[in-house]
Structure 1
Amino acid sequence: MSTSATTGTYDLVVVGFGAAGLSAALSYAEATDGRATPTRIAVLERATQEERGGATRWTGAFLRITQDRRLDTDWAEHMGRVSGGLADQEYCRTVERETPQTLSFVEKHGVEIAFEDFPLPHTFDGGAPSMTPPASPRGGGASIVEHLGSALENDPRVDIRYETEALRLTTGEDGTVDGVVVRGADGRTQRLSARAVVLACGGFQGNTEMLTRYVGDRACDLPLIAPGIANNRGDALRMALELGADTAGQFDGIHAEPVDRRTQQADAVLYGFSTGIFVNGRMRRFFDEGRDTWDNTFEHVGYEIWKNQDQEAYWIADGKTLAIPGIMNSLLSDVPPEQADTLEGLAGKLGIDAEGLQKTVAEFNAAVGPGEFDPSVLDGKSTVGIEPRKSNWATALDTPPFIGVPVTAAICFTYGGVRTDLDGRVVTPSGTAIPGLYAAGEATGLFYHAYPPATSVLRSLIFGRLAGTHAAVQQSL
């Protein structure tokens, strides 16, 4: 492996060093291993070597799988329900079919899949709320970047080009993609010729201009959930559209998450909010915190905080939440919640209106209905006569110590992107594959109205693998 190639001629160029790009490059390398004429592969990364890996590097990378290494059996139907039938069901079924082989692929390269206890129920296993430990790579997405990246580094056929951005695709007279023009750290451009190109460089969440164009006003107020996604500039979408590619996914849709605004730590997500309440800057509740399990709710509260609450919210809970075994494992910030023996003291630590907070908590407490509080199930313990209601886990906030976290919404990824077929080939509006062009991961559109979580990294790995393998097979014909 060399990090600065002396020639610009390749069999495959992969744009992006995250889960999708690494999977594509490594799958292609394995599929072409042993050929009489050695293949040459280039992997392009906008970041430096130290910061490589895009969004993948920073995510905890929950995987929506069962303990027998299969996709949640309800996921494809879930996608159909939340998207109103707009999501590509064949794509979803492909994710379902390819999950076991793809997990075996990453495990073969040293990524360890762990199932670790989580303090609140999720719907990752069959669609019903469950306390089954959810899966993730041990070490998070960084483990994927380092293990798959190391395999490529150790392959002499692979050139990894850091601090290199893709500018435009090139085509032959018949429209076949035959290369990509890139710009290196020195500002100079170069054309890399290739028999196939895989676009795996994320969505457009790092491009404020594109966010404003598609997502709407005040997109500039959305902080990035991790530094790596600043390099997700919409390059795949821009370059593919220039060739007449089709799109998929909801272009004004984003996956945003509620994060602790006291820290600069990446992925400081507040998952364990269900047993408390949210208030906005005016000290009013604005969301049904218990309408569903956290995995089906956290994106919606994040979007609400950005879209309608001026990016200012506070999570408030009490000693009953602190007593839930392992609850701190669901609050991913490196800064512990603010804590006080009284609501007035908590308000002082949060810098918010104590009288307004006390009034809202008193109204909430008075509306709490009967029933037994059980954070391990949808307990049906709800409020009565208050808006917004709380549908589950409505228990009075009356047990010291009181805890709170100031929250804002951070963007993770965009919904809209390039459309591909089931081999990862980029297609036109008529469904015709553009020869030599593939895409995978968040560069491709899939989601509408909601993101059923713990599948972004998984689908990136799957379709990266399918694209790389298909390209290798096509070139052997």
Structure 2
Amino acid sequence: MTTSPTPDTRIGDAQTGTSLDADVIVVGGGNAAFTAAHAAAERGRKVLLLEKAPRDAFGGNSYYTAGATRIAHAGLEDLQDFIEPDERHAVTEVPAYSAADYTADLVRVTDGRNDPELTEGLVQEAAPNLRWLQSLGLKYRLMYERQAYQREDGSYLFWGGLHVGNVGGGEGLMHDHVRVAEQLGTEVRYGQDVTGLVVEEGQVKGVTVRQEDGSLQELHAESVILGAGGFESNAEWRREHLGEGWENAKVRGTPFNNGDMIAAGLEIGAQKAGHWSTCHSTQWDAFTPNNESNRELTNRLTRQSYPLGIIVNTEGQRFVDEGEDFRNYTYAKFGREILKQPGSVAYQIFDAPLRAMLRSEEYEMPGITVAEAGTLEELAEKIGIAPEALTGTVQDYNGSIDTTVPWDPTVKDGRRAETTPVKSNWATPLTEGPFYAYAVTCGITFTFGGLKSDTHGRVLDAEGEHISGLYVCGEMLGGLFAGNYPGGSGLAAGVVFGRRAGTLA
């Protein structure tokens, strides 16, 4: 794969006579950007992909994910044509997840603020587009370690509507994308600081790239696809758009998503879209060294077994309904709630039986922030909480649970703790030591505000007209999510709208 232009690769623009560097320039280097590049290259277009990060930091936010991708399907038999074989399939139950289920989940978790036309495209095309990517060389599997529980008879039951992910997680996803791009002849250049868009006679005809000496170089193409992510790594923008305190959030993913290309689009008249005051934020290890943009641990710094236990702030008080829904539908908003707590820190509390059920990839990672003690009083002292506060909260919680209702983590079991706040499902008394406390803070993943487009990624101006030659996909595309999102729908949206943009550009 080449990393610098050569004179004989330039092509001509028949309309203007301008010498072009490519037919299509893609700005960004994550799942959506590479998907767009593949779609354009498959059509015979000469594609140039510009990634801001250096080669050793490639992959955008997608690299830091678990690779989970939400699709509609009719159950395990419907998935087996494109997922990797596994001997466990013979004893596995994967409940069907219909297009209607997918749509209802998007409407529910965003409080109806999702764009219905974008939603329809996502829901209908996510599954066939994963099959397309698999045909190109990407690899998918069932996510046993994250989305299934093993039952007493040795069988597995999947839950929560999110069942399929990439082999190798986000790292595997992005290594596969890079390999496919090379096979399709896409030129990828790293360390490209794209600063703006080139507009000629009302059409976007390329981009400007800042060189090491500070000078600007213009690269020309018939069209440009923006897939450079949101503004989550820009502390100033976070404070401005999300509110005071958000500058303190930990950046889970790439440090290069600073909103520059959103600003570039707005500068030439693109319309804003989406919910600019909210974002995807999750519970993130609070005190582990290097707990931002960690390429070794990536998604393992999340703490997502919280529906099994309780979460308390530094005053020993609960403040969310940990069992409101499956974690797939709550984890992207609970980081925001922790940010509001004293010191922006909270603790997930479990007893010994629950500790055995926690996700090993997240709760057994190197250097994890955890305190362990034989009693709740000792645990409270270790984490700096007044012992009477923590023990009082746990006693109130334990005493409010209707233990006659069967406990079942694979369904919303309705086993409630009638305390304040209520815990709606999966309430079980914390009684058996040792007890564990995992310190968590707010980890920001991506922002929900972006550029306005039609359903095929064509960027729209203030009058709702297409800005000729300009397309958008991925986290830069505003309108799908607000306040919250269903887990795995971000990568799915990148695939769907990346392919749509690449098919037109």
Deviation, structure 1 residue 383: 2.0
8 A contact 2:333–2:483 mirrored in 1? no
Q: CA deviation at 1:460?
A: 0.6
Runs of 4+ in 1 over 6 A off after TM superposition: 119-122
**Residue range with higher mean Cα deviation, 46-55 or 263-272:** 263-272
Q: In the alignment, does 2:176 pair up with 1:147?
A: yes
Distance 1:71 1:118 in 2: 19
Instruction: State the SS of the aligned residue for 1:236.
Output: helix
Distance verdict in 2 for CA 1:105–1:231, change over 3 Å: same
Contact 1:24 1:464 in 2 (8 A): yes
* Equivalent residue runs for 1:164-183 within 5 Å: 164-173=192-201, 175-183=202-210
> What amino acid sits opposite 1:457 in the alignment?
L
The offset of 1:328, in angstroms, is 3.0
Instruction: Call closer, same or farther: CA 1:392–1:120 in 2, change over 3 Å.
Output: farther
Q: Which moved more, 1:438-447 or 1:211-220?
A: 211-220
Report what 1:18 is aligned to: 30
Q: Compute the displacement of 1:327 (Å).
A: 4.1
With over 3 angstroms needed to count, the CA separation of the structure-2 counterparts of 1:457 and 1:185, relative to structure 1, is farther
Match of 2:12 in 1: none
1:290 aligns with 2:323: yes
C-alpha change, 1:91 and 1:232, in structure 2 (3 Å) is same
The structural deviation recorded for 1:75 is 1.7
The 1:355/1:86 distance shift into structure 2, 3 A limit, reads closer
1:130 aligns with 2:136: no
The counterpart of 1:159, out of the listed 175, 187, 204, is: 187
Structure 1 residue 210 and structure 2 residue 237: aligned? yes
Instruction: Look up the match of 1:126.
Output: none
Q: Any unmatched runs of 5+ in structure 2?
A: 8-19, 80-95, 150-157, 292-296
TM-superposed deviation, 1:94:
0.9
How far apart are 1:54 and its partner, in Å?
A: 0.9
Shift of residue 11, structure 1, vs aligned partner = 1.1
| 3-state SS of 1:231 partner | coil
Q: Distance in 2 between matches of 1:180 and 1:442?
A: 19
The match for 2:501 among 456, 467, 473 is 467
The answer to whether residue 487 in structure 2 is matched with residue 453 in structure 1 is: yes
1:290 CA drift (Å): 1.3
Structure 2 residue 124 is the aligned partner of structure 1 residue 92: no
Contact 2:147 2:162 in 1 (8 A): no
The alpha-carbon deviation at position 225 of structure 1 amounts to 1.0
Where does residue 10 of structure 2 map in the other structure? none
1:180: Cα distance to partner? Answer: 0.7
Q: 1:306 is matched with which residue: 339, 345, 363?
A: 339
Name the CA shift for 1:119/1:235 in 2 (closer, same or farther; >3 Å).
closer
- Separation of aligned partners in 1, 2:62 and 2:359: 25
SS of equivalent to 1:251: strand
Query: Does 2:385 match 1:356?
Result: no
Tell me whether 1:328 sits opposite 2:360 in the alignment: yes
Q: Distance in 1 between matches of 2:6 and 2:306?
A: 53
Asked whether 1:395 is paired with 2:423, we answer no
C-alpha displacement of 1:92: 1.1
Aligned 8 A contact 1:121 1:377 in 2:
no
Q: Give the equivalent residue in structure 1 for 2:5.
A: 5
Q: Name the SS for the 2:344 alignment partner.
A: coil
Contact 2:205–2:223, Cα closer than 8 Å, also in 1: yes
Equivalence map 1:238-277=2 (5 Å): 238-263=263-288, 264=291, 265-267=297-299, 268-277=301-310
Matched, 1:46 2:52: yes
Distance of aligned partners of 1:328 and 1:143 in 2 relative to their CA distance in 1, 3 Å threshold: closer
Among 283, 301, 311, the alignment partner of 1:278 is 311
Tell me how far apart the structure 2 counterparts of residues 131 and 210 of structure 1 sit (CA, whole Å). 33
Q: What is the aligned-residue RMSD (CA, Å)?
A: 2.4
Task: Report what 2:68 is aligned to.
Answer: 62
> Residue 282 of structure 1: CA displacement?
0.9
- Report SS of the residue matched to 2:322: coil
Aligned-partner residue type, residue 215 of structure 1: L
Change (3 A) 1:464 1:121: same
1:262 touches 1:335 (CA, 8 Å); kept in 2?
A: no
Q: For 1:21, what is the secondary structure of its paired residue?
A: helix
- TM-score scaled by structure 1? 0.89
Equivalent residue, structure 1, for 2:375: 342
2:448 matched residue in structure 1: 415
CA contact 2:313–2:341 (8 Å) conserved in 1: no
User: Would you say the 8 A contact 1:119–1:330 is kept in 2?
Assistant: no
Quick check: 415-424 or 8-17, which moved more? 8-17
Matched, 1:378 2:412: yes
TM-score by length of 2: 0.84
Cα distance in 1 between the residues matched to 2:436 and 2:67: 27
Q: 1:85 to 1:365 in 2, by over 3 A?
A: closer
In the alignment, what sits opposite 1:106? 133
Identity of aligned residues (%): 33
Quote the residue 1:76 is aligned against: 103
